[in-house]
Chain A
Amino acid sequence: MRLGVTLTPGDEAATAVAAESLGVPFVHVTGAAATETAVAATVVVATASVRIVVGIAIGDENPVTLAEEIAVLDNLSNGRIAVLAELGDLAADDAVEDVTVLRAAWSGRAIAHQGKRWRVPARLDGHRAPSSVMVTPAPAQLQIPLWVAGTSAATVSASLSLPAVATTPGDVDRAAPVAPGRSPLVGDLDTDRQAVVDWAAAGATHLLCELGEAATLDTLVRWLLPEVAMVAFPRVVADAPLPASWPQRSAPGSGR
């Protein structure tokens, strides 16, 4: 199981840079509705390799607009974006429609969607417009990873074959090819170690870790990432005292 870090609002870029330097494989950006991709853009330009899960509120804005913003981010980041569609309390059939349009917009196919909530294109009177539209630019990736969360996530997941983000290990779909979860970390090593072990044992593939005040990135990368990176991790490796800091040479050539 891979662990990622949910970034602290207001301090996203700095935390992402630190996480990237420590080898955390992915970070998770949560912005207030409407600001998500702008905030994520600051993380994109501050980092070079870490994957970025962008939480984006679904339901109010036209999914075509959301898809365009994500496609721009994906090109800005050379294809490092994954999307967590936050469905909130959106009714299941409404959520299915929005996510369907979102996904279609990245597909490379022309869209002609006539639904209850959205018509793309709308075919309004007086417009000289084609009967379908292609959303551009295409994402940089061949396919943008798309996960769903919210009260209707299970229904949307089943309907559209998308990973739903579990909030407890008991909700993990062990048979799914991708089974993400999200969990707070409290900062107590034994508690947090047991938590990630439980998620891994349940079959989760990715865990979005929300660092509480006492939980640190250092703890995550030294103890928790290794714990779930193999079966029966030998804890002595992480628990042993760290070797001495590498000595700094006082001046070029001084070691000769």
Chain B
Amino acid sequence: MIVRFGVGLWCLQSTASTPRGHVRAYREFLDDVRLADELGYDSLWLSEHHFYYDGYCPALLTAAAAGLAVSERLRVGTGMLLAPYQRPERIAAAAREIGQRFGGRLDVGVGMGYRDVEFDGKGISRGERVPRLLEAVRQLEESSADDTFAVLMGAQAPPGIARAGRLGHDILLSGALPLPVVRSLAETHHSAWIEGGRRRDRQPRVAALRNLWITSDAAEREAVLDWQRASYVLYQGLGWAVAESDAGAAMDFAGDAQQAIDTAVATTIIGPVGEVVDRLHEVADAGVDDVVLRISVEGAPQAAVHTVMRDFADGVFPVLAEPGSGR
């Protein structure tokens, strides 16, 4: 099994459960980028939302440029940049400028967005989201034709996954998806990739966020799972209703929030290094090429996140990481 490892998902929030100043959030983000770079992680990922009380990062390319400027080898990715909210030419121009300045280390993951308040606040009809996304992808493809940056697509439901595959774009899957769903979506992506025929030069890559923590301590284990739960309560607050886009009732945060949260938390890979390695084999077997460790969870002190990043790099990279990448 060969995989690359990234870390995620930096949202730069100050939440009701973990209040902190945003200046500190951004300072810690830069610290985290430097450490990920030093430890040899392949990538670090940012996430976007708008008009939310906790200041969830609304400007990913601005933040990504800062992260790239303090790193040397690390890729910095947007997981996901919500493309319909901006003019496509603006996204393409900014991505190209950043990609050129930082040796192509930018991964532009684009998603559609799902919150009505965000579409309404930006003056974009939700009904236009697919054509706007596709136009952004088209312009990003043009702008990155010489590999100035990479483009990938985010989706959690079969129609979006198939669309990405047909267009010949790699995907990044949510950390909340149970492994059987990941396997099914990876197969959907692969089939659509072949069917689309746009990229016959290489195989598709599937990246997936996975909730993960390395610990042998029972109390820390309980705390981690509780904070994972809290992190999904946040998404409940954001109105995340994946079932609306046909991903299955299990992930419907709007319908049965508690069940959805329990399902998401149950995906967590947690334990000592050996157990984590075993579970990562299962992730790879589900069709995942690149794992993005969802370890930047609100509530976890920065020191604890750094400890896990170090422990993972020391214990897992030598066993699983692709030579020359991921370390």
Contacts and interface: CB of A to CB of B under 8 A. Distances in A.
A14 B275 CA distance: 47
A69 B61 CA distance: 9
B62 A65 contact: no
B65 A61 contact: no
Interface stretch (A39-47, A147-155, A221-229): A39-47
Contact of A65 (B64, B70, B85, B120): B85
Interface in B216-274: none
B285 interface: no
Given A46-B69, A72-B57, A79 B23 contact: yes
Nearest to B63: A72
Nearest to A139: B22
A72 B122 contact: no
B55 interface: yes
Nearest to B127: A126
Contacts of A125: 125
A39 B65 contact: yes
A121 B117 contact: yes
B318 interface: no
B59 A68 contact: yes
A129 B116 contact: yes
A122 to B, nearest CB: 4
B97 A31 contact: yes
Interface in A128-149: 128-130, 133-138, 140
Contact of A34 (B63, B66, B90, B116): B90
B279 interface: no
A166 interface: no
A134 B51 contact: yes
B196 interface: no
Interface size class of B (residues with CB under 8 A): 35 or more
Given A64-B121, A122-B123, A127-B120, A136 B66 contact: no
B2 interface: no
A214 B124 CA distance: 48
B72 interface: no
> Which has the most chain B C-beta neighbours within 10 Å: A13, A73, A136, A138?
A136
Nearest to B86: A65
B89 A34 contact: yes
B61 to A, nearest CB: 6
Interface residues of A, number: 49
A18 interface: no
Given A32-B93, A136-B51, A136-B58, A38 B120 contact: no
A41 B62 contact: yes
A239 interface: no
Contacts of B120: 121-124, 127, 129, 133
Contact of A33 (B65, B85, B93): B93
B304 interface: no
Contacts of B121: 64, 120-122, 129, 133
A129 B117 contact: yes
A154 to B, nearest CB: 28
B87 A120 contact: no
B306 interface: no
A68 B98 contact: no
Interface string A11-29: 0010000000000000000
A85 B58 CA distance: 20
Given A42-B101, A121-B117, A136-B53, A35 B85 contact: no
B94 interface: yes
Contacts of A129: 116-117, 119-121
Nearest to A43: B69
Contacts of B125: 124-127
A35 B94 contact: yes
A45 B97 contact: no
Contact of A39 (B12, B26, B64, B97): B97
Interface in B42-57: 50-57
B22 A140 contact: yes
Given A38-B61, A120-B121, A140 B23 contact: yes
Interface string A39-69: 1111011100000000000001110110011
A133 B49 CA distance: 13
> Which has the most chain A C-beta neighbours within 10 Å: B54, B65, B85?
B65
Contact of B23 (A75, A119, A123, A126): A75
Nearest to A111: B121
Contacts of A78: 23, 27
20 contacts: A34-B90, A42-B65, A69-B62, A72-B62, A73-B62, A75-B23, A76-B62, A76-B66, A121-B121, A123-B120, A124-B119, A124-B123, A124-B126, A129-B120, A135-B50, A135-B51, A136-B50, A136-B55, A138-B22, A140-B21
Given A34-B90, A35-B94, A124-B120, 7 more contacts: A32-B93, A33-B90, A45-B66, A71-B58, A127-B125, A135-B51, A135-B58
Interface of A: 13, 31-35, 37-42, 44-46, 60-62, 64-65, 68-69, 71-73, 75-76, 78-79, 118-130, 133-138, 140
